[in-house]
Structure formats: C-alpha cells, structure tokens
C-alpha cells in the first residue's frame, strides 16, 4: 500500500486491524490527538489469508500454525476478532487447497 500524500511515514501503520474482510491502517494527522484510518479489502491485500506460511496452498502446515497460536492473537487470527479459535479454523478449512 502506498502512503497517501500529505501523511508522511511517521506513525503510518502504527495501528492495524483486520476484520470483516477489511484491513484498517491508522495514521496520525496534523497532531498527536488526531488521526485518520485508511481501509482496503483483505482480498486485495492478501490473496490467500489462510495460507499462513505463504507456500501457495492452504494445508496441514497452516492448520498446525493455527493450533500453535490457539487462544492467542497473531497472524493465525484470520477473522480479526483478536483470538485464534474455532472460527479461524473454520475459515482455514473453507479455504483449503491451492490459493
């Protein structure tokens, strides 16, 4: 993603959240008490979000990644609800196969 003109690079991306098919990226604007949020769809950003090891296929290796992060947050939090759980596992299973 290209940083929009006028926002500089200081603090861009300090706050990032995924959820509901979107990627939200926060940036300060004009002062430390104001900010803006840029939104893009996850499909445009991550062509295969469930491919956690970036090998071009969603398979057992990606499932093991989800299991290793179970109960925490991290890249395996596919639905962006701040916890790796059964919802993320179901997302992975729905994405099973080649990307």
Q: Between β-strands 57-58 and 97-98, what pairing exists: parallel, antiparallel or unpaired?
A: antiparallel
And the tokens for 23?
């990627």
**Would you state the pLDDT for residue 1?**
55
Distance from the first to the final alpha carbon of the chain: 21
**Would you state the pLDDT for residue 10?**
62
**Would you state the pLDDT for residue 66?**
97
**Would you state the pLDDT for residue 57?**
94
Domains of the chain: 1-46 (no CATH), 47-98 (1.10.1330.10)
Helix/strand number for the chain, H first, E second: 3, 5
User: Which pLDDT tens digits describe the chain residue by residue (99 residues)?
Assistant: 565 665 555 666 667 777 767 777 777 666 666 676 777 776 655 678 899 998 999 999 999 999 999 999 888 999 888 899 999 999 999 999 998
**Would you state the pLDDT for residue 6?**
59
């Amino acid at each position: 993603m290209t940083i929009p003109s006028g926002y500089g690079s200081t603090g861009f991306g300090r706050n990032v959240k995924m959820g509901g098919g979107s990627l939200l990226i926060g940036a300060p604007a004009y002062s430390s008490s104001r900010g803006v949020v840029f939104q893009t769809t996850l499909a445009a950003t991550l062509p295969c979000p469930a491919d956690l090891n970036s090998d071009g296929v969603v398979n057992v290796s990606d499932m093991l990644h989800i299991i290793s992060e179970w109960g925490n947050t991290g890249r395996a939090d596919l639905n962006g609800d701040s916890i790796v759980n059964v919802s993320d596992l179901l997302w992975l299973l729905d994405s099973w196969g080649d990307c």
